[in-house]
Chains A and B, each alone.
Chain A
C-alpha cells in the first residue's frame, strides 16, 4: 500500500528478486526434510508422527532434537523441553517480523507458523516492505511445502531401510547437529558455550537418564551469557555477522547465497534486524534443519 511509491519499477524488481531468493532457499532447505523423515522413522516414530512434526512444529532444529532424544531412549519430557528451548529463537523472530511485515487478522497466526530461520532471513534481506513481505511468504510457504513433501519421502525410505545402524543413520543424526551448529560458531562466546556444553553433556551422560544431560548442557549458555567478560565479547560476535553469513551461504549452495549477500549488506543499516540473530541462522535447514 505505502510500499515505495516513489520507485514502483524498482519495487517490482525487488519483489521479483525476493521471490527468486525465496524459491532457491526453499528447495535447498526442503531437501534436508529427507534426512529428517528417515531419522524420525529410525528413532521409532511412525510416518504420521514424523509428518505431523513437519506440518505443525515446523522448525528443523527442534524436530531433530525431539527425534534425537527419543531415539536415544530419553524421556518424553526431556524431548519436548529440548525442542521447546531450541524453538525459543522463533519467538524472537516473530516479535521482530510482526511490525516489519504488518501482519494482521488471519495472516498473523499463519505467519507465526511460517516463522523460521529461513523465512526470517530472506525477509530481513530485502530492501523495501513489499519485497520483505514477498520474501517472507514465498520462503515460508515454499520451505513448508518442500520440507513436508520430502519428510514423507524420507520417512517412506527410512521405513524400507531396515536396521538404521547398518545405514549409519545414528551417525547421520550427529552430522546433522554438527551442520546446524557450524554456522553459529563464529563468535568467541559461541565457541566457549559449545565447548562447555559438550563437556557437561558427556560428563553427565553416565549418571542421568538420556535427554537430561542435553538440558543440563543448556546451562552452559547461562554461564557464558552472564560472564561479564564474555558479554563484552558479544559486540565482537555481531561484527562477525557478514563473514559468518558468507560462510553459511557457501554451505548451502549457489541459490541461497543471493539472499545471504543481500542480508549481509542490510545488516549494517538495520541494527535491529541484525540483532534478531536471524542472519546467522539464515541458511540452515533446521533450524530447518533448525527449522
Chain B
C-alpha cells in the first residue's frame, strides 16, 4: 500500500470515528435512544472484536496458518482468566510468541 493510500485510510478513519461521536453529541436524543439500538451496537462490537481476534490469530494473507500466535492467544486467555491487567495480557502474548519463535517454531 502506498504512503498516500495509508494517509487516506488514516484520515478517513479519523473522520469516520470522530464524526460518529459528533453525530451523537448533536442528534436529538430520542432518535437513537432505545433498547434495540443499544443491544445491536453491543453485539456488533463483540462480533467485530471476535472476528479481528480470529483473523489476527490464524490469518496469513488470504488464507489460514497455525503458528506460535495460537499458543500466544491461549496464554493471553489464561492471563485474562487470572484477571491480569490489559497491558500484561498483551505483553504475555508477545513474549510467548517471541519465545516460541526463538526456539525455531513458525
Contact = CB atoms under 8 A, between A and B. Distances in A.
Interface string B13-33: 110111011111111010011
Given A49-B10, A210-B62, A224-B43, A166 B98 contact: yes
B8 to A, nearest CB: 6
Interface in B48-86: 48-59, 61-64, 68-69, 72-73, 76-77, 80, 83-86
A32 interface: yes
Nearest to A183: B80
B86 A289 contact: yes
B37 A113 contact: no
By DSSP majority rule, is chain A's interface helix, strand, loop, or mixed? helix
Nearest to B30: A95
By DSSP majority rule, is chain B's interface helix, strand, loop, or mixed? helix
A34 B46 CA distance: 24
A262 interface: no
A210 B41 CA distance: 23
B62 A209 contact: yes
B42 A190 contact: yes
Contacts of A93: 24
Interface stretch (A18-26, A56-64, A128-136): A56-64
Contacts of A145: none
A95 B27 contact: yes
Contacts of A189: 43
